């Protein structure tokens, strides 16, 4: 398993106004993101850890889960984190016509807006599946796809100790956008091991900067 895939390296060749993989910063900073929430069991301990280590993150939420767990979403916003759009039902976007893809995104934006007041949000395609017709639509409408440059592989459901060794063997660099998921206990344990390490190394851990959602 490699944290930096060939796909993310290729996406870096596209203009950053269209696809964000890394973020330039004068600070020594890692940009932390979580997909597939909100989760009533695992998102709260993730938030506890972030608060304890003075860290913020971007949470890419699935639309049909947002209103099911409103207290979790309200807490994400109240504690200074950013909301992102991870589609309404987490489909492979390539299986849908373009209007179906845009409906998935628009419905989720509308639900998120009730919590943070933003009309649009950074969009991350489920499973990283980014069809050309969606990319072309975003290029025409001035929206940016919020991708990542560093994959924690926490969705592999491996023991946290194994994942920590993967990260230590090939650590993130300043400016990396880290992919994690707040829907399983291994991520919570992984995060508990990494946040103190990153802080000791002098990294700030922050949400992705606001872009063109």
Specify the residue for token string 């639309």.
Answer: 63
- Among the listed residues 212, 207, 187, 211, the one whose alpha carbon sits nearest the alpha carbon of residue 59: 207
Return the axis-axis angle of helices 185-200 and 43-52, rounded to nearest 10°: 10
Between CA 176 and CA 30 the distance in angstroms is 6
DSSP-derived letter for residue 106 is H
Active-site option among 35, 39, 109, 182: 35
Between CA 73 and CA 38 the distance in angstroms is 7
Q: Which residues pair with 82 in a beta bridge?
A: 58
Residue 49: CA count within 13 A, CB half-sphere: 21
Residue 81 falls in the annotated catalytic set: no
Residue 35 falls in the annotated catalytic set: yes
Active-site option among 181, 182, 183, 186: 181
Q: Which residues are catalytic?
A: 35, 181
């Amino acid at each position: 398993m490699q944290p930096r895939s060939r796909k993310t390296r290729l996406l870096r060749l596209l203009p950053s106004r269209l696809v964000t993989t890394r973020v330039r910063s004068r600070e020594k900073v890692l940009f932390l993101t979580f997909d597939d929430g909100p989760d009533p069991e695992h998102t709260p301990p993730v938030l506890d850890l972030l608060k304890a280590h003075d860290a913020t993150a971007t949470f890419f939420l699935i639309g049909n889960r947002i209103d099911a767990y409103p207290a979790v979403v309200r807490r994400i916003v109240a504690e200074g984190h950013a909301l992102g759009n991870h589609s309404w039902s987490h489909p492979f976007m390539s299986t849908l016509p373009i209007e179906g893809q845009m409906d998935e995104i628009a419905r989720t934006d509308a639900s998120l807006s009730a919590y943070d007041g933003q009309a649009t949000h950074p969009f991350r395609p489920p499973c990283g599946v980014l069809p050309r017709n969606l990319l072309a639509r975003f290029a025409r409408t001035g929206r940016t796809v919020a991708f990542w440059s560093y994959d924690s592989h926490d969705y592999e459901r491996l023991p946290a100790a194994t994942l920590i060794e993967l990260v230590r063997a090939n650590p993130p660099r300043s400016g990396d956008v880290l992919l994690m998921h707040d829907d399983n206990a291994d991520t919570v344990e992984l995060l508990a091991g990494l946040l103190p390490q990153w802080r000791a190394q002098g990294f700030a851990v922050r949400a992705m900067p606001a872009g063109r959602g």
